[in-house]
Amino acid sequence: MIKVPLSNIKVPRINVVRRKRMGLPGAIPGSFLIMENAVPSKIFVFSYKTDFLEETETESVEEAFAFTDKHPDCFHWVDVRGLGSQEVLNFIQQKFGISNLVMEDIVNIHQRPKNDEHNGYSFIVSRMLELDKGLQLNNEQLSFLLFDRLLISFQEDYKDVLDPVRLRLRKNTNGNIRKLGPSYLMYALMDTVIDHYFSIINRIGDEMEMVEDHLYQKPHKYLMYRIQGVKKLMIAMRRAAWPERDKINDLMRLNSPLVNEETRLYLRDAYDHTVQIIDLIESMREASTGLLDLYLSLMSNRMNEVMKTLTIISAVFIPLTFIAGVYGMNFAYENPKTGEILRGNMPELYIENAYVYVLVLMAIIALAQIWYFARKGWFKN
Amino acid sequence: MIKVPLSNIKVPRINVVRRKRMGLPGAIPGSFLIMENAVPSKIFVFSYKTDFLEETETESVEEAFAFTDKHPDCFHWVDVRGLGSQEVLNFIQQKFGISNLVMEDIVNIHQRPKNDEHNGYSFIVSRMLELDKGLQLNNEQLSFLLFDRLLISFQEDYKDVLDPVRLRLRKNTNGNIRKLGPSYLMYALMDTVIDHYFSIINRIGDEMEMVEDHLYQKPHKYLMYRIQGVKKLMIAMRRAAWPERDKINDLMRLNSPLVNEETRLYLRDAYDHTVQIIDLIESMREASTGLLDLYLSLMSNRMNEVMKTLTIISAVFIPLTFIAGVYGMNFAYENPKTGEILRGNMPELYIENAYVYVLVLMAIIALAQIWYFARKGWFKN
Amino acid sequence: MIKVPLSNIKVPRINVVRRKRMGLPGAIPGSFLIMENAVPSKIFVFSYKTDFLEETETESVEEAFAFTDKHPDCFHWVDVRGLGSQEVLNFIQQKFGISNLVMEDIVNIHQRPKNDEHNGYSFIVSRMLELDKGLQLNNEQLSFLLFDRLLISFQEDYKDVLDPVRLRLRKNTNGNIRKLGPSYLMYALMDTVIDHYFSIINRIGDEMEMVEDHLYQKPHKYLMYRIQGVKKLMIAMRRAAWPERDKINDLMRLNSPLVNEETRLYLRDAYDHTVQIIDLIESMREASTGLLDLYLSLMSNRMNEVMKTLTIISAVFIPLTFIAGVYGMNFAYENPKTGEILRGNMPELYIENAYVYVLVLMAIIALAQIWYFARKGWFKN
Amino acid sequence: MIKVPLSNIKVPRINVVRRKRMGLPGAIPGSFLIMENAVPSKIFVFSYKTDFLEETETESVEEAFAFTDKHPDCFHWVDVRGLGSQEVLNFIQQKFGISNLVMEDIVNIHQRPKNDEHNGYSFIVSRMLELDKGLQLNNEQLSFLLFDRLLISFQEDYKDVLDPVRLRLRKNTNGNIRKLGPSYLMYALMDTVIDHYFSIINRIGDEMEMVEDHLYQKPHKYLMYRIQGVKKLMIAMRRAAWPERDKINDLMRLNSPLVNEETRLYLRDAYDHTVQIIDLIESMREASTGLLDLYLSLMSNRMNEVMKTLTIISAVFIPLTFIAGVYGMNFAYENPKTGEILRGNMPELYIENAYVYVLVLMAIIALAQIWYFARKGWFKN
Amino acid sequence: MIKVPLSNIKVPRINVVRRKRMGLPGAIPGSFLIMENAVPSKIFVFSYKTDFLEETETESVEEAFAFTDKHPDCFHWVDVRGLGSQEVLNFIQQKFGISNLVMEDIVNIHQRPKNDEHNGYSFIVSRMLELDKGLQLNNEQLSFLLFDRLLISFQEDYKDVLDPVRLRLRKNTNGNIRKLGPSYLMYALMDTVIDHYFSIINRIGDEMEMVEDHLYQKPHKYLMYRIQGVKKLMIAMRRAAWPERDKINDLMRLNSPLVNEETRLYLRDAYDHTVQIIDLIESMREASTGLLDLYLSLMSNRMNEVMKTLTIISAVFIPLTFIAGVYGMNFAYENPKTGEILRGNMPELYIENAYVYVLVLMAIIALAQIWYFARKGWFKN
């Protein structure tokens, strides 16, 4: 039933999302500078309508946005991967008049999920969570600038997690994704992100079942580490899921002209999913607390067992050893001159078969104690 | 007082409701495909009014809905059991113009209880909970499409849990169930589901009393497992009960034209019941935490008892054994040539009756210690 | 200071209020049948105004309500005790047009406190709590049908808990109770019920003080049981008190024409009392958690003490016993032929006064250890 | 650093505010009778305006209120101390038309802080908390009847806690206290009461620091008692502080004509203070839980240390004692007739210097074990 | 991996913000007196507009405010450091008509963050938190008086924490900070304060990771102290962060004419940051609870290990010692006169090679026990 080896457990770190401001504390709020370790930007452009699709991959921002101008009757999706090219971001800021604060939030990749409506565009942040094999949580930022006919998305690196949506865009020539414009496209991307939450929850659920199976066999110290790991994952998941729900609720309720009526229906579905995720997270948090209780009570059980073993053996043999010690004393002595034995001292030694009597006495004492412990139920676990 | 054997305990698994999406993450939201392990659909049709009832069982969806057209003045209940027939679901979707998202929720059987109002119909989800003999929780989805004169219900399999309502429909020719239309019928079905919640709570209550009775006798490890089991059931119950309450509140407050005034009164009653269920669940959750505390403190009590046994026996005999050891030393020696005894070494050995004196001394030491422990209350539990 | 004996403790059961539906799950909601173990109804009628009072005790419902018709200018209180007479309840239902759902709630005696306004009457539920001598909680339902000039109250059995109100009705000929009509009378009855809550809280408070006094003396296992008992009582009290508060708030805020302005003032007072009760319950719940912590830490303290005793005695005597063992070895031997002593083996044995030196050495070792433990503070508790 | 002795600790009782109703449960609500142990009333009257002040102390209520009539252009403060004179209270009730329910709340000295507006007057309750030297909490009721130009205050006994306000009234001839009328005077009295909360919190804070200092030295049982004491004080403080805040908020928000605009500003300040008090209480509650965790983990630490001592000593000496025991066995025997030694039995005894070899072996075993335990870190704490 | 030494740990004190009122409890509310240990005030004045900046440092308040009058078209920032000069504060109070209550809040440096709007000015309190090297939290008050074209800030002492803003004011001649007036300047100052919160959280995060790394190596007592320290810091942080958030929300939502539209946008950014801080604090509080659980379960693990060592050694050697004791008894005796051996007593001693047989028996017993413990898994950790 148990297949996962316990070796090489890495307990996930509590993933504190730290705000790394450029320069000193007190740096000018409202200016933006790219992060030090950001990778150069690559730009993928999709111009599409029901019966048309043009894809471009470029590193030149001018080229990218030239394409978007070439097809005025199309919807456009500009997918910027890598936030390390200051000139790309500056170009976008100036072309679309994006606020400095928004640009800062795009490059400072530790924002909470949120939906900020601005003049002519919306700025939306999602968090992409992924578990790697060692149960470490990758927590990346996916931000969107949503315009009337254009969606610009920003990813931290070059990963292909959004590929399924890209595939649908290419193949599903007559589907909603081609028809319903950038707000639906953004919904589809966010839904992909949310789907990952479910798969993470499933993997954590498997981990918890594995831990529980092991616990019932032996409450190993490493299992405790794993429970702690699950708890930390839950804390991190929760910090992402709650504002994700609020954000989608916002998108759904506010009457932003950028989100069309059909998309709103789909957002309700996404909202239901985030509620379900939060539900599951809270349930699993409780269950992980239960695992901890289980571990501790099993430990206490084992301790009890160990102590009972010690007590039974000690209690049985210590009195017997005492009796043996008594008859090992040298009080009985005989005068070698006279051969006279001072029988007043330790007369038992001279009783015939006294040794056998003593052995029998010892057996009786031992059996009495064992009977006593058995009656108290110490031999049943 | 205690009748349930402790053997063969299966601790229920934490029942993570997992969303199993068809295909890859990122599959097209808004398309629907039946689940792999779904069973073929059977269709049961009831056409009824106060003085008329016609029942049909069929597997052909055309036949089923032909019947519903034949009696335009009747109310109709189409009871679809098994969600494995794509053509049945497609037929229903097209005939009544059901949204893709709703169809997806019907076949993805892990929705939370909810009430979604759509154009011309309402989509309502209930969760049917049932405990099997091994305290495993079955958690099935029962969904409804509510129209003006028609109710379509969807069950995952062929179980007869809704039979009592069917019986009432057949026999109670003049009752509300014939008169008040599909919204009352749906209420009656949901009420049957809620009734099951009460019977589950009663069984869990019995389990808890059994565990408590056993605990007071002996804090067995298996009892701890059972407490964990109860806690998991509570988590699962709660995840179903809270949204159930919200759903009924929704149905009651929203002025949907599909729910008539008389039914609304009955929904208030159902609402009271869900509130009572939540109340009970929360109380039992607290009580199960109390059981856990009890278990742990009883364990600690037993450990104390074990340690006291060890300490009393050790404390009494170890000093005595030391004394015996002292008089077992070989310092006293006699010169066999001269017969002279070196009395300077261990003179006690040569005092007449010294052995008896030592035994008396030992007895005094032992009694003093026993008196000391008794005064400290170690012999009282 | 401590007077209550610990013997014969009955831990109260977690009092799960179970909804016992007649017949199968799925029984017709909206029909009502008396409970199996209900006692036959007795009816007490009071017809009163400021200067007039007529009391009747009867088992015939026709007779009872004849009396109420005889004095059209009086207020009437019909006090139905025992819910086992179907015909009585049927009569009342038909005479006053009471909804089936209300009748069901009257006979199913596990409703939460609530206030339902109906056409022409209000249906109000209170829960009467009482502690018996063994700290078991009786939890009975008291329900009211409030009309313009008539109050019908329903009790489960024949107990006289409402007697003080009856007394006031008889004696206080000029008081509010005669003047302010059935809504004030109902308030007076509910206030009597709430007064009992305070007396229960006082008794639980006494219990907790007793447990605490005992705990400081000796953390007995039975005290743990009693703490558990108090916690369960708190859970049950709380389940009654919160909806009681909401109910009274309802009565106070809703502008029901059945509740007059003066009574509303008195209801505010009752509301304050329920708030105070909830306050006290929450405080006592916290305090009972504190008692549990106290018990556990005292247990851990005692364990520590036990272990220290064992360790001190073992640590002192085990090394001494070892030394005695060494000099009990038989290496020193003498050749009886030659009388030669092999002094190379265990020469210490032949040193004059070696025995005394060894005893002194042992004493030094023992004292050194005792000094060490004393310095570590092991002899102070 | 540590100055407070641990002796003579009295753990404060959980101070259950009990409602002691006169007579039986079910006594007439709305009638009032003085409490049994109430002290006779003394009345202190202040009639004042900016340039005028007249003080009177009397026990006659007629005299008291004659004074208030003599100066119609003054504000009046009637300070009633002691609630044991029925005629005083009756007089006040009749003179000002106070509701029976209010009078009952004045004499039943266990009300929560609240603000009830009545026709022409307001009834306000504050709770005066004070810590005595033994950390017992005195919890007294201070109630006010606030009229347009008159304030009547009721204290349980003759204490002078309100003296600072009296002093200001006398000296501060031109201050707000003379100018702003009875609502400001009431504010000044309530502010004095709230100031006491801060000083209690400071004392509890000192207590907690003392306990923590002691804990780091030695986790004494009495410290646990003190932590429990602090927790109980926190529970009691909290029960007073939350409704105090709500009350002041009420006074501040409601547009009562009895509270003038300037006073409202000061009430905002008092409100800030109650919020700060609640903040501090919650922080200290958490910190006291932290102390409890600290105590328990230190206890567990000490237990560990005790067990390690026992284990090291036992593990070192028990095997050595066994070896000594082996060579104390009597298998080696010589035939005194022939002088033949049965060397096949225990030949080691006859090896030259065997005794030394055995001692060396024992030393090696002991050192090996000590090295093993040292490597496991058992000697570092 | 571990670099921080454990020596010299100072556990931070629970930082109870105490309200130290001048004089007795009951001192006149609404008067203000400087604190005893306050330092004399220094005044730094900035008069600035887009292309102009004049800085003055003075201790004379008249001089300071003369400067502010000299440039009527400029914005002014008066930075008062040190609250020990009564005349400075009096001058400000009178010149700008500040309420006594506000002045009291400025000098009583334990206010919660808040925003009070007054006639013509706003009074805002921030709390500057800083961790010193020993993880002690400095918690200082920074208060603002915000006027139309003037900002007065009050710091407790002369620290230069606001220097980065001063730098921007000097250098960023064309930035928002010169253009947007005192409300933006105040935002910039508050943002600097909030930035410090992030750096504190980062340091606490490092501390927690260090503690966790150490814990996995050895659950040292000092680590427990550090966890307690982290928890106390969290309590203090939280008490500052929650009202900080409310304050900024207030500033953002209320339509105060003193805060201009552009600044409001930046305040939304600051609000997001406080929300993120609260999020992080709550996550870290949970994680610190997890560390405590980890510590306790590791302690219990070690205890288990210690006990197992003791039990194995005792269980193996105690029975062997008993056997050795048996054969050390003196029952076998020979009559030196007759040379007759009483073989009935302890005949085993005279069996050839009995000694070897006994040794073999002992080895078998020891091996059996070790095999038993190995099978129970006691040798695996």
Q: Which string of DSSP letters, residue by residue, matches E231-272?
A: HHHHHHHHHHHHHHHHHHHHHHHS--TTS-HHHHHHHHHHHH
State the count of interchain CB pairs (< 8 A) between B and C: 185
For residue E351, how many other CB atoms are within 10 A of its CB? 12
Per-residue pLDDT at B22? 42
Confidence of residue D139 (pLDDT cuts 50, 70, 90): confident
Residue-wise burial string across B82-97, b where 16 or more C-beta atoms lie within 10 A, e elsewhere:
bbbbeebbebbbeeee
Q: What is the mean pLDDT of residues E331-347?
A: 59
Q: Quick check: A16 pLDDT over 60?
A: no
Per-residue pLDDT at E71? 86
Cβ neighbors of B288 (< 8 A, separation 6 or more) are B208, B227, B230, B231, B234
Per-residue pLDDT at D144? 96
CB contact under 8 A, C319 and D310: no
Paired tokens of D248: 């002041």
3-class secondary-structure state, position E177: helix
- Distance from C-alpha of B12 to C-alpha of B226, rounded to nearest angstrom: 9
Q: Quick check: C27 pLDDT over 90?
A: no
Q: What is the mean pLDDT of residues D324-340?
A: 70
In a mutational test of the C interface, the residue from B211, B217, B304 whose CB has the highest number of chain C CBs within 10 Å is: B304
Paired tokens of E173: 């001649």
Confidence of residue B379 (pLDDT cuts 50, 70, 90): confident
State the architecture of A6-19+36-298 in CATH terms.
Answer: 2-Layer Sandwich (3.30)
Per-residue pLDDT at B17? 45
Give per-residue pLDDT as tens, C104-139.
899 988 889 999 989 889 999 999 998 887 778 888
Minimal Cα–Cα distance from A205 to chain B, Å?
7
Element (H, E) at D42: strand D42-49
Paired tokens of D355: 């005794």
Confidence of residue E7 (pLDDT cuts 50, 70, 90): very low
Strand partners, E126: E142
Per-residue pLDDT at B338? 59
- What is the percentage of chain A residues whose pLDDT exceeds 90? 41
Determine how β-strand B137-146 pairs with β-strand C75-81: unpaired
Q: Quick check: E338 pLDDT over 70?
A: no
Confidence of residue D159 (pLDDT cuts 50, 70, 90): confident
Determine how β-strand C122-131 pairs with β-strand C114-117: antiparallel
How far from D312 is each of B88, C319, D377, E303, E314, CA to CA, in Å?
A: 76, 12, 12, 13, 11
Give per-residue pLDDT as tens, B160-177.
778 888 888 888 777 788
- Distance from C-alpha of B155 to C-alpha of B81, rounded to nearest angstrom: 5
Q: Quick check: B341 pLDDT over 60?
A: no
Q: What is the mean pLDDT of residues A60-71?
A: 83
3-class secondary-structure state, position D219: coil
Residue ranges covered by each domain of chain B: 6-19+36-298, 329-375
Confidence of residue C3 (pLDDT cuts 50, 70, 90): very low
Give per-residue pLDDT as tens, E65-109.
887 778 888 999 999 999 988 889 999 999 999 988 899 899 988
Q: What is the mean pLDDT of residues D295-314?
A: 91
Maximum separation of any 2 CA atoms in chain C, in Å: 133
In a mutational test of the D interface, the residue from E8, E321, E370 whose CB has the highest number of chain D CBs within 10 Å is: E321
Q: What is the mean pLDDT of residues B38-59?
A: 89
Per-residue pLDDT at C311? 92
Residues of E in contact with A21 (CB under 8 A): 195, 198
Cβ neighbors of B146 (< 8 A, separation 6 or more) are B121, B122, B123, B124, B182, B183, B186, B258, B259
Average pLDDT value over all residues in chain E: 84
Q: Which has more confidence, A2 or C249?
A: C249
How far from E18 is each of B297, E14, E109, CA to CA, in Å?
A: 39, 11, 9
Residue-wise burial string across B266-275, b where 16 or more C-beta atoms lie within 10 A, e elsewhere:
bbebbbbbbb
Category of B23 on φ-ψ map: left (φ > 0), alpha (ψ -120 to 50) or beta: left
Strand partners, B58: B43
- Distance from C-alpha of B229 to C-alpha of B235, rounded to nearest angstrom: 10
Residues of D in contact with C345 (CB under 8 A): 349, 352-355
Per-residue pLDDT at A381? 61
Cβ contact E185:E77 at 8 Å: yes
Confidence of residue E189 (pLDDT cuts 50, 70, 90): very high
Q: Which has more confidence, C54 or B11?
A: C54
Q: At what angle do helices B261-326 and C261-326 cross, to 10 degrees?
A: 20
Element (H, E) at C42: strand C42-49
C358 phi, psi to nearest 5 deg: -65, -45
Q: Quick check: A220 pLDDT over 90?
A: no
Determine how β-strand C75-81 pairs with β-strand C150-155: parallel
Q: Quick check: C42 pLDDT over 60?
A: yes
Residues of B in contact with A272 (CB under 8 A): 111-112, 114
Per-residue pLDDT at A261? 87
Most confident range, picked from C193-197, D349-353, E19-23:
C193-197
Given E292, E321, E355, which is nearest D331 (Cβ)? E355
Q: Which has more confidence, A31 or C29?
A: A31
- Distance from C-alpha of A62 to C-alpha of A79, rounded to nearest angstrom: 14
CB contact under 8 A, E297 and A29: no
- Distance from C-alpha of D100 to C-alpha of A3, rounded to nearest angstrom: 75
Cβ contact D315:E309 at 8 Å: yes
Per-residue pLDDT at D284? 92
Q: Which has more confidence, A23 or B13?
A: B13
Per-residue pLDDT at E4? 44
Minimal Cα–Cα distance from A311 to chain E, Å?
9
Of the listed ranges B156-165, B299-308, C298-307, E29-38, the least confidently predicted one is: E29-38
Q: What is the mean pLDDT of residues B286-304?
A: 91
Q: For chain E, where are the alpha helices, taking DSSP H only?
A: 61-70, 86-96, 100-107, 163-171, 176-179, 181-217, 221-253, 261-326, 354-375
Q: What is the mean pLDDT of residues A282-291?
A: 91
Element (H, E) at D52: strand D52-58
Cβ contact D14:D232 at 8 Å: yes
Residues of E in contact with D270 (CB under 8 A): 29
Paired tokens of E151: 């900002």
For Cα atoms C258, C263, C268, give the angle at the middle one, nearest 5 degrees: 120
Q: In sequence order, what DSSP letters do the residues of A213-280 get, joined into one string?
A: HHHHH---HHHHHHHHHHHHHHHHHHHHHHHHHHHHHHHHHS--TTS-HHHHHHHHHHHHHHHHHHHH
Average pLDDT value over all residues in chain A: 84
Indicate the DSSP class of residue E12: P
Confidence of residue A91 (pLDDT cuts 50, 70, 90): very high
How far from E347 is each of A324, C132, C238, D327, E331, CA to CA, in Å?
A: 16, 72, 77, 19, 10
- Distance from C-alpha of A56 to C-alpha of A62, rounded to nearest angstrom: 12
A85 phi, psi to nearest 5 deg: -110, 100
For D322, the closest chain E residue by CA position comes to: E321
State the count of interchain CB pairs (< 8 A) between D and E: 188
Residues of B in contact with A172 (CB under 8 A): 28
Residue-wise burial string across E155-184, b where 16 or more C-beta atoms lie within 10 A, e elsewhere:
bbeeeebbebbbebbeeeeebbbbebbbbb
Per-residue pLDDT at A345? 64
The owner of tokens 């965790």 is D293
Confidence of residue D19 (pLDDT cuts 50, 70, 90): very low
Paired tokens of E104: 């009291």
Per-residue pLDDT at D138? 86
For residue A128, how many other CB atoms are within 10 A of its CB? 22
Given D112, D300, D355, which is nearest C346 (Cβ)? D355
Q: Quick check: A336 pLDDT over 60?
A: no
Given B16, B310, B329, which is nearest A310 (Cβ)? B310
Residue-wise burial string across D185-199, b where 16 or more C-beta atoms lie within 10 A, e elsewhere:
bbbbbbbbbbbbbbb
Per-residue pLDDT at B318? 93
Q: Which has more confidence, A60 or A161?
A: A60
Q: Quick check: E130 pLDDT over 50?
A: yes
Q: What global pTM score does this model have?
A: 0.85
Residues of E in contact with D322 (CB under 8 A): 317, 320-321, 324
Of the listed ranges A247-256, D39-48, E30-39, the least confidently predicted one is: E30-39
ipTM reported for the complex, 2 dp: 0.81
Per-residue pLDDT at C17? 45
Average pLDDT value over all residues in chain B: 84
Q: Quick check: E172 pLDDT over 80?
A: no
Of the listed ranges A186-200, A244-258, B8-22, the least confidently predicted one is: B8-22
Q: What is the mean pLDDT of residues A235-263?
A: 90
In a mutational test of the D interface, the residue from C304, C362, C365 whose CB has the highest number of chain D CBs within 10 Å is: C304
Q: Quick check: D258 pLDDT over 80?
A: yes
CB contact under 8 A, A111 and E275: no
Given C18, C30, C225, which is nearest B266 (Cβ)? C30
Chains that touch A (3 or more CB pairs under 8 A): B, E
Q: Quick check: C87 pLDDT over 60?
A: yes
Element (H, E) at E115: strand E114-118
CB contact under 8 A, E201 and A16: yes
Per-residue pLDDT at A197? 92
- Distance from C-alpha of E128 to C-alpha of D283, rounded to nearest angstrom: 19
Q: In sequence order, what DSSP letters do the residues of B180-242 get, joined into one string?
A: SHHHHHHHHHHHHHHHHHHHHHHHHHHHHHHHHHHHHH---HHHHHHHHHHHHHHHHHHHHHH
Q: Is C268 exposed, middle or buried (0-12, 13-18, 19+ CB in 10 A)?
A: middle
Q: In sequence order, what DSSP letters do the residues of C2-38 get, joined into one string?
A: -----SS--PPPP-------SSSTT--TT-----TTP
Give per-residue pLDDT as tens, E205-233.
888 988 888 888 888 888 888 898 899 89
Q: Quick check: B155 pLDDT over 60?
A: yes
- What is the percentage of chain E residues whose pLDDT exceeds 90? 42
Q: Is A15 exposed, middle or buried (0-12, 13-18, 19+ CB in 10 A)?
A: buried
For E201, the closest chain A residue by CA position comes to: A18
- Distance from C-alpha of D116 to C-alpha of D103, rounded to nearest angstrom: 12
Per-residue pLDDT at C342? 55
